[in-house]
Amino acid sequence: MTETQYQYALWFIVGFGAITFPILFFITAPYGRHFRKGWGPTIPAKLAWVLMEAPSPICFALVFFQHERSGDLVPLIFFGLWQLHYVYRSFIFPFRMRGSGKRKPVFTVAMAFLFNIANGAINGYGVTVLGAHLTMSWLSDPRFIAGIAVFFIGWFINHQSDHILRNLRAPGESGYKIPRGGMYRFISSPNYFGEIVEWIGYALASWVVPGAAFAFFTFANLAPRAVSHHKWYQEKFEDYPRERRAIVPYVW
């Protein structure tokens, strides 16, 4: 990846986040419970997840392994964190999701596909080309230690919450129930909260601009969707817990 390609891809991620954040409060992305007709052709949801997420671990790896520092321990730790998240999200999560006959508009899949090419590539670039500080001494830097801890707290919350959701449905079922337990005690979308925390941790631990850009995008994309989920739950279930917030415990 050249410096110019990096700059274009970075501003694509940041611009995309800045534009989608306000828009998503008015137009909810049309997939899952918010799926509706009028968004063009659709494809099966499981296939969609693989197609749109797989470019992220692949492009990260392609850019990462072009660089001479790809054999160094600290950059490799960030490679490992990225793959830990994205190999699961691309190739395991879609096949564990329950709900039959779900589809996604090709339009949303195409947007996510492009996003993940750019995001995977700039983050592979981030921890190699931009990561001159990611040497062995970085392992004892407070930003690294705190960031790794935050990353794994977010990762745990995200996985625990997706596990709770998955178990709400028996195989073949596709309706919705009120999720309970874990951080669902406090908020309607702890899977999104966990994902946001995870990437804030990654940004802190890596201390490079692409990590921060992705944390910003994740918040911009998922916070408005959590608000839409929250309203949807309140309208659908009369007995929906009143104390529950949308995305930030006790606050929002």
Ligand X SMILES: NC(=O)c1ccc[n+]([C@@H]2O[C@H](COP(=O)([O-])OP(=O)(O)OC[C@H]3O[C@@H](n4cnc5c(N)ncnc54)[C@H](OP(=O)(O)O)[C@@H]3O)[C@@H](O)[C@H]2O)c1
Residues at the interface with ligand X (CB under 6 A): 32-33, 97, 99, 102, 158, 162, 165, 168-169, 174, 176-177, 179, 191-192, 195, 218, 221-222
Nearer to ligand X, 92 or 136 (CB): 92
CB of residue 43 vs ligand X: minimum separation in angstroms? Answer: 14
**Burial of residue 87, with CB atoms counted within 10 A of its CB: 0-12 exposed, 13-18 middle, 19 or more buried:** middle
**Contacts by residues 181-185 (CB-CB < 8 Å, ≥ 24 positions apart):** 182/157, 183/157, 183/249, 184/244, 185/244
Cβ atoms of 200 and 212 within 8 Å: the answer is no
54 phi, psi to nearest 5 deg: -55, -35
**Alpha carbon of residue 157 to chain centroid:** 13
Residues 6+ apart with CB under 8 A from 75: 64, 67, 69, 127, 128, 131, 134
- The residue number with the shortest CB distance to ligand X is 32
CB of 83 to ligand X, least distance (A): 15
Query: Which residue number, 124 or 162, has a Cβ lying nearer to ligand X?
Result: 162
* C-beta closer to ligand X: residue 123 or 191: 191
Give the nearer residue to ligand X in terms of CB position, either 42 or 218: 218
* Distance of closest approach, residue 233 Cβ to ligand X, in angstroms: 7
Question: Shortest gap between Cβ of 120 and ligand X (angstroms)?
Answer: 12
- Does the CA dihedral 150-250-243-237 come out positive or negative? negative
- In the complex, what is the shortest distance from the CB of residue 9 to ligand X, in angstroms, rounded to a whole number? 16
Give the residue with the Cβ less far from ligand X, 92 or 132: 92
Q: How far is the CB of 168 from ligand X (least distance, A)?
A: 4
* 98 vs 143, beta carbon nearer ligand X: 98
Helices 209-236, 106-126: crossing angle, 10 deg rounding: 150
Q: How long a stretch of residues is the chain?
A: 252
